Amino acid sequence: MEHTIAAISTPVGVGGISVIRISGSNAFSVAKSMFKSKTPFESIKSHTVTYGTVQDEKGNTLDHVLLLKMQAPKTYTGEDTVEIHCHGGIYVTKKILAMAYANGAHPAQPGEFTKRAFVNGHIDLMEAEAVMDLINSEAEDTYKEALSQMKGEKSLQIKGIRSELIDLISHIMVMMDYPEYDVEKITAKDTKEKAEEIAKRLRILIEDFDNRRIIREGLNVAVVGDVNVGKSTFINRACGQNRVIVTDIAGTTRDVVEVKIDIKGLCVILKDTAGIRSTDNEIEKIGIEKSKEAIEESDAVIYIADINRPYKDEIFNYIKDMNKAICVLNKTDLLLENERDKHIKFMERDLKKIFKDRIIACSLDKKEGINEIFDKLLDMVNAGSIRQKDSVITNERHKKHIADAIKYLENTKEGSFIDMLSVDLTCAAEELGKITGETASADIVDRIFEKFCIGK
C-alpha cells in the first residue's frame, strides 16, 4: 500500500469519545505534524497512550486528546498506525480528520484498514469477513460464531482440506514427472476414492451451513390470530416497550411490523401481522395478504386466540395443518375464577390433536406466559437440531466455492487417466483457496471489503 489512510473509526455523532485512525508508512509523520505533547513524538514508545493536544496549522488547539502510537508490524493493519481519541463531537472530530488529510493522509475506503490487514498477511479472508459479522451480530449465537471465525478456527479446517488436495496433486505430479524417483504408486482408482472422501466431508459442511441459517439470520416468527386477540400486546410485552399500537378497534394492524429481540442468545424476529378475516376494506385486505406471506415465510408461528370466544377463525383454518405453530390461549384473566381451570383444560384437550404439547394458556395483558412461549419456541428449534452443531462456513460465498469444489471432485468419477484427474483436483483446491483468500482474485477481495463500513 503506497499511501497513508485516515478515517473516523467510531460512529459519527455526539458521544463521549471519537477515534480517528491513521495507517500507513507516513502515519507517524502525519500525526507528529498535528499532535503536541510534553514528550517529543519520536520519544513516544510503541503501544503506549500519550496525552496532548491537536493543533491546526496556526498553532490553535482543536482539542485535548489521547494518542495511541503503534509501530509496525504489531498492528491491526501490519503498518505503522496511530489512533487519536478526541471528544465525541461531530465538528471537532471532522476538524481533526481534516487536519490529518491536510498533512498528507488520504481518505480511507470502506473496509480498507481490514483489507490492509489481509494484504499484509495478518488475517485471511474468512477472518476478515468475521470482523463485519462481529460488528453486525445482534445475539449471542451470531457473536460467538463470528468470534470463532476471527480466531482462525474455521479457516484452519478449510485450509486442512485444501492441504490434503495439494498433497494428493503433488504426489501425482511427482509420480508422473519423475518416474525414476522411488515414490509410492497411486492409481486412478485410489485418486477417485480420495476425491469422493473429501467431497463427502465438504457436503457435510454445506449441510451444517444450511442447518445454521437461523443462527445467522435469526428465527423468523409470525405472530398471528384473529383481530383484537392480543398480538400487538404480546409484541410490546416481549420487547419491553410499545412498538405497536394497541386499541380495541378491529383492523388496527395493517402492515407487518418486525421487532428483533434476543432470546437466550438467539436472535428472534417477531412479525406482528394483521388479523385474517373477511373484509371489504381494500387497505386491510392488503395487510391480510401480507400476513399470509409472513406465515408462509416464517420459521415458526405463534397463534394467539381469545380463550373466551370461538377460536376457529380464518387464521386457525389457515395454519391448522402446519407443524410449526404454538397456540397461545390469551385473556385467561377474564374467565370466571371458579370455572377457569375447567375451561382451560377443555380448550387444551380440544386443541391437542392440532398443536400437541405446544399450547399455553395465559394473560398477556398481565404479563403472564411470555417466558413459557419463548421456552416452547426454543424447544421447537432445538428439536430440529438447528443449534446442535457448529458450522465451518458462515456465508453464501463460502457455500458457493465449496459447492464448486465438490463439482470438480465429482468430475473425477468420469475420468480414467490420472493426469486428467489432477486437473479437476487442482480446480477444487483453487475453489477452497478462494474462501480463505489464498487463491482469491482481486475482484473477489474488492467485492468483500466494499461491504465494510469506513473506518474498519
Same domain, 347 and 441: no
Highest mean pLDDT among 206-220, 276-290, 362-376: 362-376
pLDDT band at 245 (very low <50, low <70, confident <90, very high): very low
Same domain, 319 and 243: yes
Which pLDDT score, from 0 to 100, does residue 203 have?
93
Q: Torsion-angle region of residue 224: left (phi > 0), alpha (psi -120 to 50) or beta?
A: beta
Same domain, 230 and 377: yes
Same domain, 173 and 236: no
DSSP string of 41-74, one letter each residue: GGGSPTTEEEEEEEE-TTS-EEEEEEEEEE-TTS
**Is position 411 within any domain?**
yes
CATH number at residue 70: 3.30.1360.120
**Is position 119 within any domain?**
no
Which pLDDT score, from 0 to 100, does residue 401 have?
94
**Is position 230 within any domain?**
yes
Residue 279 has pLDDT above 60, yes or no: no
Q: Is 358 helix (H, G, I), strand (E, B) or coil?
A: coil
Same domain, 275 and 361: yes
Characterize the bridge pairing of strands 5-8 and 106-107: parallel
Q: How far apart are CA 349 and CA 220, in angstroms?
A: 28
Q: Among 383, 412, 437, where does a domain finish? A: 383
Same domain, 152 and 90: no
| Percentage of the chain exceeding pLDDT 70 | 89
Which pLDDT score, from 0 to 100, does residue 256 have?
58
Kindly state the average pLDDT of the residues 112-127.
90
Same domain, 246 and 193: no
Q: What size, in residues, is the chain?
A: 456
Same domain, 265 and 177: no
Adjacency order of strands within the sheet including 106-107: 35-36, 48-55, 61-70, 81-88, 15-23, 5-8, 106-107
Which pLDDT score, from 0 to 100, does residue 35 have?
96
Using alpha carbons, list the distances in angstroms from residue 321 to 143, 164, 325.
35, 48, 9
Give the tens place of pLDDT for each residue, 377-414: 888 887 754 444 567 877 889 999 999 999 999 998 87
CATH number at residue 337: 3.40.50.300
Which pLDDT score, from 0 to 100, does residue 316 have?
80
Return the DSSP state at 338: G
**Is position 456 within any domain?**
no
Q: How far apart are CA 430 and CA 168, in angstroms?
A: 14
pLDDT band at 129 (very low <50, low <70, confident <90, very high): confident
**Is position 121 within any domain?**
no
Same domain, 228 and 206: no
CATH number at residue 421: 1.20.120.430
Structural domain count of the chain: 3
Question: Domain limits at 419?
Answer: 127-212+393-449
The C-alpha cell at 433 is: 483457496
pLDDT band at 130 (very low <50, low <70, confident <90, very high): confident
Using alpha carbons, list the distances in angstroms from residue 437 to 158, 280, 310.
11, 57, 60
**Is position 419 within any domain?**
yes
Same domain, 256 and 371: yes
Q: Among 383, 404, 431, where does a domain finish? A: 383
Kindly state the average pLDDT of the residues 201-207.
91
Degrees (nearest 5) of the Cα angle 155, 163, 432? 55
**Is position 338 within any domain?**
yes
Residue 108 has pLDDT above 60, yes or no: yes
Give the tens place of pLDDT for each residue, 308-321: 876 666 778 778 77
**Is position 153 within any domain?**
yes
Residue 183 has pLDDT above 70, yes or no: no
The letter for the amino acid at 197 is: E
Q: Is 268 helix (H, G, I), strand (E, B) or coil?
A: strand
Same domain, 270 and 334: yes
Q: How far apart are CA 274 and CA 106, in angstroms?
A: 51
Lowest mean pLDDT among 11-20, 207-216, 240-249, 390-399: 240-249
Q: How far apart are CA 304 and CA 228, in angstroms?
A: 10
Same domain, 398 and 373: no
Return the DSSP state at 276: P
